[in-house]
Copies of this chain bind each other. A is one copy, B any other.
C-alpha cells in the first residue's frame, strides 16, 4: 500500500484522512510538505482528480468531500459490478485462483487492526474482480473501492464488524469454490447491503465525533 511516488504519497495522505475532506490544497503549499516542485505536484493532483480523490472548487483544489448520497450511489453501482464478477468467477476462475481468494478472506482474521482489515477487504474484492477475467471490470472495481475507502474506515472500527465482514467474505469464497453462482451472488449482495447498512449506522452514530475532528459529511451533491 505504500507507494514511493509523489502521487502515491499524496494519495495515501488523503486515504488516511491526514488530508481532511474538503481541505483546500494549493500547489505551492504542497511543495514543502512533499519535497517536490509544482510541476510534479500539479501532475499528481490532476491524476488524483481523475481518481475522484481531489476536486476543483472553482479554480482551487480541494480534497474530495465525503458525501452520503455519493456513497449510496457507489454502493448501488458496486452491486452491479460485484454481481457480475462472481458470475464470471464461477465460470472462469481456476481452482488456484479461488483458493487464493479464500486465503485472502481468511488472512483478515489473523491481524485484527482496523487498517489491516480495511486493506485486506480491499484486496479480497480486487482479487475477486481480477479472477472474473475482465480487466475493465477490475479497473472499475478498483476505482469504486478507492472512492469508498475513506468512509470504510468507519466500518472497520469495531471488532464485531470486522468479524462479520470476515465471515461474509468466507461465505462468498466458499460459494465460489462450490461452483454455486446463485449462492455466491446472494452472499455477495448480502455482504454489500450489510456493509452499507452498518456504514450508514456508523455515520449517523459518529457524525458528531467526525465533526469534532474537522470532518463533515455532506448529504447532498457538492458540485456545480
CB pair B73 A80 closer than 8 Å: no
Q: Is A30 an interface residue (CB 8 A)?
A: no
- Closest CB-CB distance, A41 to chain B, in whole Å? 13
Most buried by B among A76, A84, A136: A136
For A66-80 the 0/1 string (1 means CB < 8 A from B) is: 000000011011001
Q: List 10 A-B contacts (CB under 8 A).
A: A39-B39, A43-B43, A47-B50, A50-B50, A73-B135, A73-B136, A77-B136, A77-B140, A80-B80, A136-B144
Give how many copies assemble into the complex.
2
- Closest CB-CB distance, A89 to chain B, in whole Å? 13
Q: Is A46 an interface residue (CB 8 A)?
A: yes
Q: Is A81 an interface residue (CB 8 A)?
A: yes
Q: Is A134 an interface residue (CB 8 A)?
A: yes
CB pair B47 A137 closer than 8 Å: no
A42 (CB) vs chain B CBs: closest residue: B43
Chain B residues lying within 8 Å of A46, measured Cβ to Cβ, are 43, 46-47
In the bound assembly, the distance between CA atoms of A38 and B74 in angstroms comes to 36
Q: Which of A143-186 contact B (CB under 8 A)?
A: 144
Chain B residues lying within 8 Å of A77, measured Cβ to Cβ, are 134, 136-137, 140
CB pair A74 B136 closer than 8 Å: yes
Contact A84 B73, CB 8 Å, known A43-B46, A47-B50, A50-B47: no
Out of B50, B80, B136, which one reaches A137, CB within 8 Å?
Answer: B80
Chain B residues lying within 8 Å of A42, measured Cβ to Cβ, are 43
In the bound assembly, the distance between CA atoms of A47 and B43 in angstroms comes to 10
Chain B residues lying within 8 Å of A43, measured Cβ to Cβ, are 42-43, 46
Out of B47, B80, B140, which one reaches A84, CB within 8 Å?
Answer: B80
Q: Which 3 A-B pairs have the closest CB atoms?
A: A50-B50, A77-B136, A80-B84
In the bound assembly, the distance between CA atoms of A144 and B42 in angstroms comes to 27
